[in-house]
Structure 1
């Protein structure tokens, strides 16, 4: 967090055209953060917490050790029989329920949730979180808030009258400028709404992505990856950075930096040696932009990993993932398929 206030968007200022020094500083930062890392305690420039609820940030644009502002990561805790304050903002948010159950009030409508649900605060939503049950509820919140800020979509605050109300006419329905059909999309994605698939990355269930036209979220894509004990994911390269949250297990990630050689055209030069990043349950693991990554589960500890990405990269032309090595499960499935075809 900034020394004098909350940083909503981080700027880039340089006296040279090249910006390589910014990337070097970013890549030097520690990429694995655990519960000891609180970069913002929500005491400045926030409106959501009540006397009982608690919010704390792990990744944000104002971090002294800067990782990214394509995604922000924080946690919300609601003790039993409590709620936070209602407020509204233009940016979307996706929150995964780590513990407990409760419900939302969004635009005067109720949406119930429980552990392992992925819940969406849609754009331009007045919302409030409730936990009427005795056990506490904890949510992991991931959002692409800075993308809205860059585009000037900065309206946010608690409910209240319009300033200088005499200057404005009567109320109009805000949803008139939303994408047609969004009101019919799901706000809560349950495990039963997802299908497990064996892919080049590994065994995954997609919770949000462009192809999921039933989900009311357009900015943060999310999937869960499962890796058996001692196993590994596919080795993949993509331009988008991402945040992994370790739901269960422990292991490590190998990451290879990709350098751009600007000759008669762009060429990718992949580092010969990776960096290694150990992690455990409850950690976040950051993969920078333009990297090759592969995830490994420790012996005896199968992994459950949540993976999040800002969808804006896909709209900017980086919609592909290159696999340099497939997951063992996908390779075996392909082999069995080939044998069946030869029979």
Structure 2
């Protein structure tokens, strides 16, 4: 969080055209964060918390040790028989339910959720989260909020009257400018809505992707990755950055920086030696833009991870993942 308030979008300035020094500083930041890291306690410039609910941030644009603003990560805790404050924002958000169960009220409609569900707050949603049960509920929240901020979609806040209402006409249906058919899409993706598949990356269940046209989200792609004890994921190269959250188990990740050689065209130069990052349950692992990555389950137990990334990369021409090596349990 910034010293004088919440940072919604981080600026990028340079005295030179090349941005290599900026990238070097960014890549020098530790990419593993655990429960000891709270970069924003939601006391300034936030609207969601009630007297009982709690929100804390792990990755965001205002972080002093800046990783990314492409994908933001925070947590929401609802104690038994509690709720947060209702509010609205133009950006989407995806809630992965880590513990408990409860329900949402979005635009005056109710949506139930349980552990391991992925819940979508849709674009331009007035929403509130409820836990009416006797056990606490905890959600991992990922969002591409800065994408909306960059594009000037900043109309957000709590419910209330319009300022200078006399300047404006009567209410119109906001959904007139939404994507056709969006109201028929799922707001909650449960395990029953997904299937585990063996892929070059490993055993994966996809919850959100461009191919999942039944899911009401357009900015965040998400999947779970299951790595058997002693096994490893595929060794892959992609342009989009991403965040892993370790749901179960532990091990380490290897990441190879990719340098751009700008000659008569762009060439990729992959680092000869990777950086190693040890990870365990509850950690987030950040994979920067334009990196090669491979993850190993190395504590004697299987490792299960949740992955999130900003879908906008796929609309910019970076929709391919290249595999140098398949996962240890991949089928040929």
With the shorter chain as reference, the TM-score category is: over 0.9
Distance 2:21 2:189 in 1: 40
Determine whether 1:303 maps to 2:306. no
Are the counterparts in 1 of residues 47 and 85 from structure 2 also a CA contact under 8 Å? yes
Q: Can you list the C-alpha shifts for 1:231-261, whole angstroms capped at 9, x where unaligned?
A: 0000000000000000000000000000000
Distance 1:257 1:68 in 2: 16
Are the counterparts in 1 of residues 249 and 299 from structure 2 also a CA contact under 8 Å? no
* Deviation at residue 328 of structure 1 after TM alignment: 2.1
> Does the C-alpha gap of structure 1 residues 82 and 299 become closer, same or farther in structure 2, counting only changes over 3 Å?
closer
- Residue pairs, 1:33-72, within 5 angstroms: 33-72=33-72
Could you list the runs of 5+ residues in structure 1 that have no partner in the other structure? Answer: 335-343
> Residue 210 of structure 2 aligns with which residue?
210
Determine whether 1:74 maps to 2:74. yes
> Residue 127 of structure 1 aligns with which residue?
127
How many positions carry a matched residue from both structures?
332
> Residue 340 of structure 1 aligns with which residue?
none
TM-score norm. by structure 2 comes to 0.99
> Residue 163 of structure 2 aligns with which residue?
163
> Residue 313 of structure 2 aligns with which residue?
313
Distance 1:195 1:133 in 2: 29
Instruction: Write 1 or 2 for the structure with the bigger share of helix.
Output: 1
Q: Can you list the C-alpha shifts for 1:277-308, whole angstroms capped at 9, x where unaligned?
A: 00100000000000000000014110000011
> Residue 11 of structure 1 aligns with which residue?
11
Are the counterparts in 1 of residues 52 and 82 from structure 2 also a CA contact under 8 Å? yes
* Deviation at residue 91 of structure 1 after TM alignment: 0.1
**Structure 2 residue matching 1:328: 3-state secondary structure:** coil
> Residue 341 of structure 1 aligns with which residue?
none
**Structure 2 residue matching 1:329: 3-state secondary structure:** coil
Distance 1:12 1:62 in 2: 13
Distance 1:83 1:148 in 2: 26
Could you list the runs of 5+ residues in structure 2 that have no partner in the other structure? Answer: none
Are the counterparts in 1 of residues 231 and 329 from structure 2 also a CA contact under 8 Å? no
> Residue 272 of structure 2 aligns with which residue?
272
* Deviation at residue 164 of structure 1 after TM alignment: 0.7
